[in-house]
Amino acid sequence: MIELPEAIVIAGQINGTVGGKRILSALANHSPHKFAWYTGNPAEYNQRLSGKTVTLATGTAMFVEIYADEMKLVVYAPLRYYFRDEKRPAKHQLLVEFENGTAISSTVRMWGGFFCFPEGGKSGFADYEIATGRPSPLSDDFNRAYFDGLISEKTAGLSAKAFLATEQRIPGLGNGVLQDILWKARIHPKRKMGELSHKEIGSMFNAVKSVLKQMTAQGGRDTERDLFSEWGGYKTVLSKNTANTPCPACGAIIQKENYMGGSIYYCGGCQPL
């Protein structure tokens, strides 16, 4: 799934391709998916969007926000751009065609959301409303004092993974970007927050800021594709691409485990439990 770095990168690519273009048509829920959510009736998306002009796209948390006149289209799934006369996908959950013959589409892999509503209105999706109400970890407002304020007696029993990647506590930080953040901080994903020293908390904060900044600057992770279906330029240290290979820092073999309903990757040498 795309997370904050990819959302920002893809939003920038949308601005560079369809920014200023008029929407010819919008087709939502063409291929029904059990874990694809929509604001209201997806059959009404064409009525809401056709004839509108894309004015701006932004990346917030793991959401790509596309502003089209007074409407807002939020996509919580991978997006792809199609040139004029390029073949469109047979299956998709969203296809937006433009008057100049180009298009963008989105196909859900595991789960995703598509929210189309008037700017200033509500998406109807709790995670989006929570995420957009909190400071981005790439912003100046997300500073050490703010980060320390997220830590309390209630979070002491949470694992490092649960603290960083659940409840939209840190917008856009999910299980994907989590792996390299904790590796850089030298903290095992299963470590309890209440066990971490003041120095380790500082390392975690610095890793959140620096790793997300690097991932964004390099066009997203090499495990996720951008708007043009190209892999991101950031080379992940811990991911499906590197499992069972030597850690670049200490040489120990990178491990993969199932944990909290997903996979974790870690180096037993750099991140002892």
pLDDT at 257: 96
Q: Which residues contact 2 (CB under 8 A, 6 or more apart)?
A: 10, 62, 64, 77, 78, 220, 224
Sort strands 36-38 and 254-259 into parallel, antiparallel or unpaired.
unpaired
The CATH number of residue 263's host domain is 1.10.8.50
Domain of 115 in residue numbering reads as: 4-132
Assigned domain for 154 exists:
yes
Which residue in the block uniquely carries the two structure tokens 């990819």? Answer: 6
Angle 97-98-99 from CA coordinates, rounded to 5°: 130
120 and 162 co-located in one domain? no
pLDDT at 110: 87
Give the count of alpha carbons within 13 A of 104, CB side only. Answer: 25
203 and 260 co-located in one domain? yes
Token duo for residue 116: 């189309």
How many distinct structural domains can be found in the chain?
A: 2
pLDDT at 231: 98
Question: Which of 97, 132, 167 is the last residue in one of the domains?
Answer: 132
Element housing 4 (H / E): helix 4-17
Angstrom distance (rounded) from CA 131 to CA 153: 22
Assigned domain for 139 exists:
no
Angstrom distance (rounded) from CA 8 to CA 60: 7
Angstrom distance (rounded) from CA 98 to CA 84: 9
pLDDT at 109: 87
Q: What are the average pLDDT values for consecutive 10-residue runs of the chain, which has 273 residues?
A: 95 98 98 93 97 98 97 97 96 97 95 94 91 96 97 96 95 97 98 97 98 98 98 98 97 96 96 94
Assigned domain for 138 exists:
no
Question: Which of 101, 132, 163 is the last residue in one of the domains?
Answer: 132
149 and 128 co-located in one domain? no
